[in-house]
Amino acid sequence: MKKQKVLLAAVSRTPIGKLGGKLSRVAPAKLGAHVLKAAIRRAGIEHLSWIDVIAFGHTLQSFFEPNTARFSAFNEAHLPASIEAYTIQEQCASGMKAAQSVYDRIASGEAELGIAVGVESMSLAPLIIPGQHRYSEVSKQALKRFKKLKLFGPLPFFGLAESGLGPLALARDPEALNMIKTAQIVADLMDVSRPEADRFALLSQQRALSHRQRLALEIDAMVVAGVGLVSEDEHPRFTDLNALAALKDQAGTGVVTAGNASGMGDGASALVMCTESMAEKLGLTPLAEIVDFHFSGRHARSMGLGPVNAVTGLLTKQGLSINDIDYFELNEAFAAQAVACLKRLGIPVEKVNHNGGGISLSHPLGMSGARIIGAAAYEMQVDPSINTAICTLCVGGGIGGAALLVRYRN
């Protein structure tokens, strides 16, 4: 069967709120519903029955919103119940993996129109009590006083709860959760210094602050109860090299600081994808063509170099070289990690993240993989010299993901 061409028809994202900021009380399903409705409006989809599939990437999932995609599409956005909606979790790659899933459905001819969403509320990461604790001596003693708490077996003592961002038992392990240590490992491997990392972080902040009008093209503002209209990203900040150099390093790393690492935040991004015939039916000019995806693994301790594997594999599949690519969106998990990838791949910083990245905009885990695809597509719209773009990110656990976009020509 001939592979269908997959077009990016429309993009919408929320402003990105900082941890505990303006979007901190907005549930993930509501963030997702906002961009779903906005993206449908931007694509001019008059008949919702045309939508074949909706895939969400969401890292910090909770059964308060079971199957975030379905809960968001049906319960919050009130889309037709006939639309399949499912949720994917692949750490930082969740949003990109959702995009690949919809891409595969359309490329194979199984669907004509689909929407991928990346979403995260890091502010609302649930408190979690590991199931093993329900049988601990602490729980047994506490439950002697609360004998009615027997639903689903004995419930553990609430004081044992940990953040859904990750259990303390794994927090020091760079093969599991300690991403700070992995950034230092990569910095050591690629000889990235603290001044290099700080200069990259400053550039990210400067680009985001000076290109707010460009970023506004992607954003659909939200009205938040008790807050008002939220229309701009909350995380970018004014700083300088002296202020960055004065920050204490984290976890004894020497290079990684709060100033040159990505922030935690809240937000959602939606990508409408379709076939050429559906684009004609909708009467729209696509933002870009999505050509391919590639994911690959490496050791978890050097997960920050995941983009090197993913980009190299993607270029090999397509018979391209790094010099064939005009623009890159590289998610900035850490400045040290981003600089290391640029060094290893031989990419000049002038071709990367024109409008900031994870350091300045922050890195809502499930959102970022979808956000960078939308960002690259809009950069192609404003810069006619960009005909090819790669979006890539590293992923906790030792994975790299990459997507290739080209300028659409009918």
Q: What is the pLDDT of residues 44-100, one digit of tens each?
A: 999 999 999 999 999 999 888 989 999 999 999 999 999 999 999 999 999 999 999
Q: Which residue bears the tokens 């229309």?
A: 231
Residue 148 clears pLDDT 60, i.e. is over it: no
Alpha-carbon separation of residue 93 from 59, 99, 295, 353, 395 (angstroms): 9, 10, 9, 18, 6
Mean pLDDT of the 358-383 span: 98
Q: Report pLDDT for 274.
A: 98
Q: Has 394 been annotated as catalytic?
A: yes
Q: Which of 34, 354, 363, 391 is catalytic?
A: 363
Question: Tell me, what DSSP letter sits at residue 279?
Answer: H
Q: Report pLDDT for 284.
A: 95
Q: Report pLDDT for 177.
A: 46
Q: Report pLDDT for 283.
A: 96
Q: Report pLDDT for 175.
A: 53
The domain over range 6-124+263-405 is classified in CATH as 3.40.50.2000:
no
Q: Which of 58, 92, 274, 341 is catalytic?
A: 92
Q: Report pLDDT for 160.
A: 56
The least confident of 83-87, 248-252, 285-289, 332-336 is 248-252
Provide the pLDDT confidence category of residue 165 given band limits of 50, 70 and 90.
low
Mean pLDDT of the 367-375 span: 98
Q: Has 92 been annotated as catalytic?
A: yes
Residue 176 clears pLDDT 70, i.e. is over it: no
Mean pLDDT of the 216-229 span: 97
Provide the pLDDT confidence category of residue 2 given band limits of 50, 70 and 90.
confident
Tally DSSP H helices, then E strands, for the chain.
13, 14
Alpha-carbon separation of residue 377 from 42, 99, 228 (angstroms): 14, 14, 29
Mean pLDDT of the 295-315 span: 96
The least confident of 160-169, 237-246, 309-318, 375-384 is 160-169
Rounded to whole angstroms, the Cα distance separating 265 from 18 reads 4
Mean pLDDT of the 225-237 span: 97
- Percentage with pLDDT > 90 across the chain: 83
Q: Which of 274, 341, 391, 394 is catalytic?
A: 394
